[in-house]
Amino acid sequence: MGNSQHNINRKTEEQNILQNPHEGEASQFYWACRNGDVEHVKELLNTIPYQDLNRLEPNGSTPLHAASYNGHSIIVGLLLRERGCQRDRVNRHGLTAYEEAQTEEIRQLFYRPSERNRFCEEDDDDSNDSIGNRFTVNVKKEEKEDDEKPDDFAYDQWLVGYETSEEIEWVKADFAAGKAICQKFIPYLSDKQCGSLTHILQQNFSEELDKLICEHIPKTHREFEKCKMLIQKAFDKQQLQPEYLLRLYTLETPVYGALSKDAGPLFHPLLFALNQLKPRHFQGTSYRGVKMVEEDLHAYRWAMKSRGAIETRTFCSTSLDRSVAARFAGINRPINNERRSVLMAFNFPQPCDTAFNLGKISAELSCVSEYENEAEVLMLPSTLFIVRQIETAANYVTIQLENIETKPKSRSAYFKAFFKNMKRNASITIGSKTYYAKEHPSLLR
């Protein structure tokens, strides 16, 4: 309660500042950043509490805004890389520090490190970001019997062939049931129990994420304090604030790799917030670069011919900017005989409740990605696609995929899917608790 009240008081204070800024009033640290006093900034940087480092000054700006606007690249680098300053703060003009940057040199300091790339992956079995860790191919049996099946298909860690003609529909119904439980059934029970169930679940989600942070991010990491702050803000109010969780995912920390192995700690709370994120539900086309060996391409060709379904196994970052994915995939580089450059184009004909536009949508819906330049569309696990077309050019391959909607059309459809899920003895695991279990492992696990 103390933290909540403190945050409310701080937010009220900052709203007053934005409405009535006091020109010329700011802290000693702010003036050092504004005036380019590198030595003084270094002297003060590690003595200031993290929250004060990011606070809105009485003049309606922040130290990061001041350094960015005035072109002090060394100081901007120190603030971002030494202490992980918040990038999402807006000043009295409604702009972030990235938007205030006057030169490309300063803007590039806000980019993700060049050796890190979330929009292209190598087909490497030892890599957490390999294609095999992100996608599963599900194929209807009766559509594949006359086709030549890849020899290693049945044994591959991520290419799975279901054995009945209803399996793809079952996959859709299973995920729809999971969403029904999270968005309708549990909130309904919470209303009957005065919100106690929702409170217990949110507390469980918060503890799971906090544990993940402490296990994978050392306290000396520049983003440790920011991660803790984002979790606190996400669960600080009675209603979950999912935008903070989306930002948490985009941070450059070891948690990214941990979530590629087990998406649950972040996936489960986001499932409860799909309706809250409705303004960010994505419709359109986004892109991801991939390096594939010929066997992988053969599997996709076979899936297209056999009317297979592609399922995301974990979180998957894509970009609205085709050139970003194409550049990272190495489309304009010389052909590698073993690995082909592949551009995956994900088409969403309708707004998708498991794909979110993380960029700035309007003045009210600011960018929730840590890296504003990336134009990211983030897909959740169990987002489904069909392969529409595979096009081969001189030095790269394009795979066109189309989203399969799993959102039930009405409240009654939600509950129908929920009871269908129970009848099949499927299970759903939320946080550390499993509700319903048996025959089929749930896609939500």
Closest CA to 48 of 37, 38, 63: 63
Report which secondary-structure segment, H or E, holds 120.
Answer: strand 120-121
Alpha carbon 402 to chain centroid, angstroms: 20
The rounded distance, in Å, linking the Cα atoms of 37 and 67 is: 10
Query: Given pLDDT bands bounded at 50, 70 and 90, which one contains residue 91?
Result: very high
135-138 and 384-392 beta bridge pairing: unpaired
- What's the pLDDT score for residue 340? 82
pLDDT for 142-201, tens place per residue?
Answer: 444 445 544 443 323 333 333 334 555 656 666 666 666 666 555 555 555 555 677 788
Tokens linked to 89: 């703060």
CATH code matching the domain that covers 2-108, chosen among 1.20.1600.10, 1.25.40.20, 1.20.120.420, 1.20.140.10: 1.25.40.20
The rounded distance, in Å, linking the Cα atoms of 355 and 135 is: 15
- What's the pLDDT score for residue 444? 36
- What's the pLDDT score for residue 160? 39
* Residue range 220-244: mean pLDDT, rounded: 91
Residues 6+ away with beta carbon under 8 Å from 22: 58, 59
The rounded distance, in Å, linking the Cα atoms of 208 and 326 is: 36
pLDDT for 12-69, tens place per residue?
Answer: 777 777 777 788 789 999 999 999 999 999 999 989 999 889 999 999 999 999 999 9
Alpha carbon 436 to chain centroid, angstroms: 27
What is the domain partition of the chain in residue ranges?
2-108, 113-445
CA-based R_g, the chain, Å: 23
pLDDT for 328-366, tens place per residue?
Answer: 676 766 666 677 888 999 999 999 999 999 999 998 899
- What's the pLDDT score for residue 161? 39
Largest CA distance in the chain: 77
The rounded distance, in Å, linking the Cα atoms of 66 and 61 is: 7
pTM for the model: 0.80
